[in-house]
Chains A and B, each alone.
Chain A
Amino acid sequence: MIKHKIILSLSLIVLVASCTKDITSLNNDPKNPPVVYSYSLYTNAQKNLARTLASSNVNLNIFRLITQYWQETTYLGESRYDLNTRNIPSNAWQALYRDVLKDLDAARALIPEDVEDPAVQKNQLAMLDILEVYSYYYLVTTYGNIPYTKAMNIDSVFPKYDDAKTVYTDLLRRLNADIDALDPAVAGFGSADIIYGSDIEKWLKFANSFKLKMAITIADEDAATAKTAAEEAAQAGVFSSNADNAKFVFKASPPNTNPLWEDLVQSGRKDFVAASTIINNMKQLDDPRIPLYFTEDAEGDYSGGEPGMSSSYGTFSKPDEKLVNPEYPHTLLDYSEVLFLLAEASERGFNVGGDAATHYANAIRASILDWGGTEEEANLYLLNTSVAYGTASGDFREKIGIQKWIALYNRGWDSWLEWKRLDYPELQPAYRANSAIPVRFTYPVNEQNYNTRNWNEAASAIGGDKVDTKLWYDKF
Chain B
Amino acid sequence: MRKMLSLLAVVVLYATIVSGQTRTVTGQVKDAKGDPIPFATIKIKGENTGVSADANGNFSINAGPNATVVVSAVGFEPFEVQVGSSNTLSINLSNAGALSEVVVTALGIKRTRNQLPYAAQSIEGNEVSKTRISNFVTGLSGKISGLEIRQSNSLGGSSNVVLRGVKSFVGNNQALFVVDGVPYNNDNTNTSNQLTGRGGYDYGNAAADLNPDDIESVSVLKGAAATALYGSRGSNGVILITTKKRSRGLGITVNSGATLGFIDKKTMATYQKEYGGGYGAYYEDPSGFFLYRDVDGDGQKDLVTPLSEDASWGGAFDPNLMVYQWDAFDPESPNYKKARPWVAAANDPSDFFEKPVSFNHSVYIDGGSDKGTFKLGYTRADDKGILPNSSITKNLVSLGATYNITDRLTAGVAMNFSNINGKGRYGTGYDDKNVMTSFRQWWQTNVDVKELKDAYFRSRKNVTWNWADPDNLVPIYWDNPYFVRYENFENDRRDRLFGNVNLNYKVTDWLNILGRIGHDTYDELQEERQAVGSVGVPIYSRFNRSYRETNFDLMVNMDKDISTDFNFKALLGTNIRKQHTKSILASTNGGLAIPGIYSLSNTVNPLNAPDEFDGRREVDGYFAGATLSYRNMLTLDGTIRRDQSSTLPKGNNVYYYPSVSLGFVFSQLLPQIGWLSYGKLRTNYAEVGNDAPMYSVLDVYNIVPPFGSEPTTTVPNTKNNPNLKPERTRSAEIGLEMQFLKNRVGFDITYYRTRTVDQILPLAISTATGYSFKYLNAGTIENKGIELSINATPVQTTNFSWTTNINWTRNRNKVLELFEGSDNLVLASFQNGVSLNATLGQPYGTIRSSNFVYKDGQRVVDEDGYYVFSETSNEVIGNPNPDWIGGINNTIKFKNFALSFLVDVRKGGQLYSLDLAYGFDTGLYPETAGLNDQGKPVRAPLSEGGGVILPGVTEDGKPNTTRVSAEEYGLFGTDFVPNAGFIYDASYVKLRETVLTYSLPQSTMARLAPFKGIDLSLIGRNLWLIHKNLPYADPEDMISAGNYQGYQGGVYPTTRTIAFNVRLRF
Report the interface size class on chain A: 35 or more
CA–CA, A270 and B850, complex, Å: 28
Which of the listed residues A27, A99, A254 has the most CB atoms from chain B within 10 Å of its own CB? A27
CB neighbors of B among A417-448 (8 A): 434, 442, 444-448
Which of A254, A270, A448, A450 has the largest count of B CB atoms less than 10 A from its CB?
A450
B619 to chain A, nearest CB (A): 8
With A13-B517, A26-B646, A85-B873 as known contacts, state yes or no: A97 contacts B767, CB within 8 Å: yes
A10 and B717 contact, CB distance less than 8 A: no
Q: Which of A296-334 contact B (CB under 8 A)?
A: 309-315
Contacting A at CB under 8 A, from B453-472, are 468-469, 471
Residue A74 at the chain B interface, CB threshold 8 Å = yes
The reply to whether B770 and A27 contact each other, CB–CB distance below 8 Å, is no
- For B284, give its contact among A105, A106, A191, A314 (CB under 8 Å): A314
Q: Is B133 an interface residue (CB 8 A)?
A: no
Nearest Cβ in chain B — how far from A72, in angstroms? 12
For chain A residues 184-236, which have a beta carbon within 8 Å of chain B? 191-192, 194
CA distance A23 to B282 in the complex (A): 67
| Min C-beta distance of A323 to chain B, whole Å | 19
B567 within 8 Å of A (CB atoms) = no
B821 in contact with A74 (CB, 8 Å): no
Contacts of B650 in A (CB 8 A): 24
Q: Choose one: A26, A36, A85; the contact of B616 (CB below 8 Å).
A: A26
A44: which of B617, B712, B772, B833 is its contact (CB, 8 Å)?
Answer: B712
Question: How far does the Cβ of B921 sit from chain A's closest Cβ, in whole Å?
Answer: 10
Interface residues of A in 7-46 (CB under 8 A from B): 7, 9-11, 13-14, 16-18, 20, 23-24, 26-37, 40-41, 43-44
Name the one of B309, B553, B767 contacting A444, with C-beta atoms under 8 angstroms.
B767
Q: Would you call A252 and B605 a contact (CB within 8 A)?
A: yes
Given A33-B703, A84-B850, does the pair A253, B713 have CB atoms closer than 8 Å?
A: no
B620 touches A267 (CB 8 A): no
Interface of A is mostly: loop
Complex CA gap A103/B832 in Å reads: 30
Whether the Cβ atoms of A43 and B590 lie closer than 8 Å is no
Distance in angstroms between the alpha carbons of A155 and B1056 in the assembled complex? 54
Is A283 close to B, CB under 8 A?
Answer: no
Of the residues B284, B616, B821, B872, contact of A445 by C-beta under 8 Å: B872
CB <8 Å contact, A449 and B822: yes
Say if the beta carbon of A251 comes within 8 Å of chain B: yes
Q: Is the CB of A6 within 8 A of B409?
A: yes
With A13-B554, A445-B873: A23-B620 Cβ-Cβ less than 8 Å: yes
Tell me if A373 counts as interface (CB < 8 A to partner B): no
Cβ B707 vs Cβ A450 within 8 A = no
State whether A34 touches B873 (Cβ < 8 A): no
Does the CB pair A268–B474 fall under 8 Å? yes
Binds A, one of B21-29, B232-240, B606-614, B888-896: B606-614
Most buried by A among B714, B822, B874: B714
Residues of chain B within 8 A (CB-CB) of A447 are 766, 768
User: In the assembled complex, which residues on chain B have CB atoms less than 8 Å from the CB atom of A384?
Assistant: none
Closest to A73 in B: B308
Binds A, one of B142-150, B693-701, B982-990, B1024-1032: B693-701
A94 touches B469 (CB 8 A): no
0/1 string, B753-774, CB within 8 A of A gives 1? 0000000000111111111101
B101 within 8 A of A: no
**In the complex the two chains form, what is the Cα distance from A39 to B867 in whole Å?**
52
A383 within 8 A of B: no
Smallest CB separation, B913 vs chain A (Å) = 16
Cα A451 to Cα B822 in complex, Å, equals: 6
Q: Is A256 an interface residue (CB 8 A)?
A: yes
B interface footprint on A97-128 (CB within 8 Å = 1, 0 otherwise): 11101110110000000000000000000000
Are A158 and B606 interface neighbours, CB within 8 A? no
| Closest B residue, CB atoms, query A314 | B469
User: Is B719 in contact with chain A by the CB < 8 A criterion?
Assistant: yes
Whether A10 lies near B503 (C-beta < 8 A) is yes
Query: How many inter-chain residue pairs (CB < 8 Å) link A and B?
Result: 274
- Enumerate B403-426 residues with CB–CB distance to A below 8 Å: 409
The verdict on A41 contacting B766 (CB below 8 Å), with A26-B617, A253-B589 known, is no
How distant is B382 from chain A, measured CB to nearest CB, in Å?
37
Contacts of A156 in B (CB 8 A): 769
Q: Is B491 an interface residue (CB 8 A)?
A: no
B833's partner among A33, A86, A434 (CB-CB below 8 A) is A86
> Any chain A CB within 8 A of the CB of B852?
no
B299 within 8 A of A: no
Residue of A nearest to B721 (CB): A154
Known: A14-B574, A23-B620, A77-B975. A40 touches B766 (CB 8 A): no
- Given the known interface contacts A77-B975, A446-B767, A448-B872, the answer about A158 and B821 at a Cβ–Cβ threshold of 8 Å is yes
CA distance A266 to B590 in the complex (A): 8
Q: Which residue of B lies closest to A106 (CB)?
A: B715
A151 touches B872 (CB 8 A): no
Tell me if B996 counts as interface (CB < 8 A to partner A).
no
Does B711 sit within 8 A of A, measured CB to CB? yes
Contact B711 A43 (CB under 8 A): yes
Q: Is the CB of A253 within 8 A of B646?
A: no
The answer to whether residues A157 and B765 also contact, given A14-B554, A74-B309, A311-B282 and a CB cut-off of 8 A, is yes
Q: What's the minimum C-beta distance from A223 to chain B, rounded to whole angstroms?
A: 31
With an 8 A cutoff between CB atoms, is A369 at the interface?
A: no
Given that A29-B695, A450-B766 are known contacts, is A9 also in contact with B515, CB under 8 Å in the complex?
A: yes
A44 touching B821 by the CB < 8 A rule?
Answer: no
B282 touches A309 (CB 8 A): yes
* Residues of chain A contacted by B608 (CB below 8 angstroms): 254-255
Instruction: Give complex CA distance A317, B617 in Å.
Output: 58
Quick check: A43 and B517 within 8 Å, CB to CB? no
Closest B residue by C-beta to A13: B515
Q: A153 to B774: give the CA distance in the assembly, Å.
A: 12
The yes or no answer to A475 lying at the interface (CB within 8 A) is no
Are B536 and A268 within 8 A (Cβ)?
Answer: yes
CB B402 to nearest CB in A, in angstroms, measures 16
Q: Does A256 contact B708, Cβ atoms closer than 8 Å? A: yes
Contact between chains at B714 and A103 (CB < 8 Å): yes
Query: Which of B280, B705, B823 lies in contact with A310, CB distance below 8 A?
Result: B280
CA of A144 to CA of B83, assembled, Å: 89
With both chains docked as a complex, state the minimum distance between the C-beta of B38 and any C-beta of chain A, in angstroms: 50
- Contacts A44-B712, A44-B714; A18 near B606 (Cβ below 8 A): no
- Chain A CB within 10 Å — which of B550, B553, B819, B822 has the most? B822
Residues of A within 8 A of B284 (CB): 312, 314-315
**A146 in contact (CB, < 8 A):** yes
B503 touches A94 (CB 8 A): no
Nearest CB of B to A464, in Å: 10
Of A31, A74, A97, which contacts B612 at CB under 8 A? A31
- Asked if A47 is at the interface (CB within 8 A of a chain B CB), the reply is yes
The one of A27, A35, A76 that contacts B695, using a Cβ cutoff of 8 Å: A27
Given the complex of chains A and B, what is the CA–CA distance between A473 and B550 in angstroms? 65
Are B874 and A449 closer than 8 Å at their CB atoms?
yes
The interface bits of chain B over 871-883 (1 if a CB of A lies within 8 angstroms of the residue's CB, else 0) are 0111000000000
25 contacts between A and B (CB under 8 A): A6-B513, A10-B554, A14-B552, A17-B576, A17-B578, A18-B576, A20-B618, A28-B698, A76-B975, A90-B767, A97-B768, A102-B771, A105-B770, A106-B701, A106-B715, A268-B468, A312-B282, A312-B284, A313-B468, A314-B291, A315-B284, A449-B822, A449-B874, A450-B765, A450-B766
Q: Which 7 A-B pairs have the closest CB atoms?
A: A102-B770, A17-B552, A10-B515, A253-B605, A147-B768, A32-B700, A23-B646
Given contacts A36-B701, A252-B605, A449-B822, 13 further A-B contacts (CB under 8 A): A7-B505, A24-B646, A27-B647, A47-B707, A84-B833, A97-B768, A158-B765, A159-B766, A269-B476, A270-B308, A310-B282, A445-B874, A451-B821
Interface residues of A (CB under 8 A from B): 3, 6-7, 9-11, 13-14, 16-18, 20, 23-24, 26-37, 40-41, 43-44, 47, 74, 76-77, 84-87, 90, 93-94, 97-99, 101-103, 105-106, 146-147, 150-154, 156-159, 191-192, 194, 251-256, 266-270, 309-315, 434, 442, 444-453
